[in-house]
Amino acid sequence: MAAMTDAAAHPPRSSDRPVALVTGPTSGLGTSFARLLASQGHDLVLVARDEDRLRALATELETEHGAGTELIVADLATGKGRMMVAARLARGIDVLVNNAGFATPGVFWDTEPELLQAQLAVNVTAVMELTHAALPPMRAAGRGTIINVASVSGLLSGPESAYGAGKAWVVKFSEGLAHQLTGSGVHVQALCPGYMKTEFHSRAGQDASGVPGALWSDPDEVARTGLQDAQKGWAVSVPGWRYKLYTTIDRLKPRRLVWRC
């Protein structure tokens, strides 16, 4: 049965199985990571705002994979929500997937500052604070994996401003930590997917109907690729050969040509 966690109650681990904490697991890539990790023998700590969807996912993971689950209902846009999750991470886990994130609809100058701040809090501040909480016990244990979900928009030059800048921060942050932790047994990765068949674009108010079918990725495959690349010690993972090609070409193009395009 799923255990609920709040700032004052921390249920003990239900088994000696490895434990993975996934933020934003109630849809899309987060669900794919939760299912994949459960199938590989992990117990799960699931973090999201929607308690009903959390409970439904927990029941699925327990029924299909025998995974123990712990639920944390928290809003990562708030300091209180991040502190709740950080407190759980400080007790030690084996895998952290910082997956929660969102994009604001419309252009930067038409978006309310409060919404932009919430996006920054979830996409950047939560990644920093939760990683900071997870690392001490991982380093003490000499093992652990942290996957920070970024985006190809953090690697490509283009019109994205606030969202792309946040994801670029996640990439640089993860790369720097990965190199600092070399030889420690702890691996940090920035996972940079492209378009995925999830709720992300509709929630962001984006019309993605014109995106060619070949550019759409399966979130299950993205999760598998990210986890495999993390186990190989890759600091940055770009699933899909097309996105690997695009990001490589983008790095080679003169800056003035990028902006003319």
Cβ 156 vs Cβ 139: under 8 Å: no
Q: Which of 163, 195, 243, 246 is catalytic?
A: 163
Query: In angstroms, rounded to a whole number, what is the distance separating the alpha carbons of residues 118 and 114?
Result: 6
Residue 180 parent element (H or E): helix 162-180
CA angle 139/145/148 to nearest 5° reads: 115
Cβ 116 vs Cβ 108: under 8 Å: yes
DSSP 19: E
Query: In angstroms, rounded to a whole number, what is the distance separating the alpha carbons of residues 35 and 42?
Result: 10
Q: Which amino acid is at 169?
A: W
Cβ 235 vs Cβ 175: under 8 Å: yes
Count H helices, E strands: the chain? 10, 8
Task: For residue 89, give the nearest of 73, 65, 72 by alpha carbon.
Answer: 72
Cβ 155 vs Cβ 206: under 8 Å: no
Q: Which amino acid is at 50?
A: D
Look up 246 and say whether it is catalytic. Answer: no
Catalytic residues: 163
